[in-house]
Amino acid sequence: MLYRKILKPFFFKMDPEKAHHLVIDGLSMAGKVPGGLSVMNGMYGVKPSAELKVKLLDMEFMHPIGLAAGLDKNGVATDGFSNIGFAFVEAGTVTPKPQPGNEQPRLFRLPPDEALINRMGFNNYGAEEMAKALQRRKNRSIPVAVNIGKNKITANELAYEDYRSCIRTLYDHGDFFVVNISSPNTQGLRDLQHGNELHNLLVHVCEEMEIQADQRQAKIKPIFVKIAPDMSDDQLEHTVQTIKDSNINGIIATNTTLSREGLSHPNQGETGGLSGVPLRERSTEVIRSVYKLTEGKLPIIGSGGIFTAQDAYDKIRAGASMVEVYTALIYKGPALLQELTSGLKECMRKDGFSNIMEAIGADHK
């Protein structure tokens, strides 16, 4: 109520990127103020529930809903997000070297469509600064994923060096990692999703992950690949097969879309990746296809257009082990997590499931 009646109208009168920074800075500051995190947890925290608990790749999650990459690009607000109900946080996208991203304005709201368009361009402080931020974490109760990418000036044939560099710098600070090859806002990045380029990149990524684990005499941390929603059926099949043939642990489906189908707001003409409700059906279709192509053997994190518990549940039944939100948090505020988790319980109870993991891929059974 506080967000929807007071804070949202205030934020929506501001430039979207300024509002974004204000939220991240506020969450970051809350972690530094004595008692700040406890207050946030008391207002918005989600109580653990055996019904929603997820075990995946030797990790435990109190429920299946996490924060997608793009909101906390530098990992400075993970403590804040940990205390408003998220089961995991995907920080990033981070690149080896700091970069300013694309020219402003580069973030646009489409309120009637419940959507956002961004062309941020991997603006971030660099891997070294993210490592420092994650080292300062006070709340380590939930897993943090580190989403890694390449610098804009790095040629695709040398992209693997950037991904390896990020892994080396951040290996100790992430519980799992996400290879971002699907943002539409870095020229040529999506070319890395296909053919030999994808194969070669994943060989290097898996090799670096193994090197880092061996140095620590520990088990290799999980790594996911984030794919785009705009591939043809043939492209998706080839991409998934390449991922299957590697040592990658899972897939995140999907990133933002270039499609503008069904939009009504004038900002639809802005270039960049579209997120929010218009992406909902397509991302679920991709999840369903990936689940079939992998025979349900490769974990999927579903992302795209999740605004209600039914949206999340549809993705889980389509094959997602967990899901992520971003745009809905902007439109609905931090009470979203309580709404989604309570709604998921109702959905699964109607289907006769005692634990949410029983619903994974239920549409295929």
Q: What is the dihedral of CA 24, 27, 32, 33, to 10 degrees?
A: 140
Amino acid occupying residue 56 = L
Separation between Cα atoms, residue 214 and residue 208, nearest integer Å: 10
Could you count the other beta carbons within 10 Å of the beta carbon of residue 350? 9
Separation between Cα atoms, residue 247 and residue 25, nearest integer Å: 37
Helix (H, G, I), strand (E, B) or coil at 53: coil
| Active-site residue, 303 included | no
From the list 183, 289, 303, 321, the catalytic residue is: 183
Could you count the other beta carbons within 10 Å of the beta carbon of residue 33? 9
Packing angle of the helix pair 309-318, 280-293 (nearest 10 deg): 20
Residues in the chain: 365
Helix (H, G, I), strand (E, B) or coil at 92: strand
The per-residue DSSP string of 226-265 comes to EE-S---HHHHHHHHHHHHHTT--EEEE---B---TT--S
Which of 52, 56, 77, 76 has its CA nearest to residue 65? 52
Q: Which residues are catalytic?
A: 183
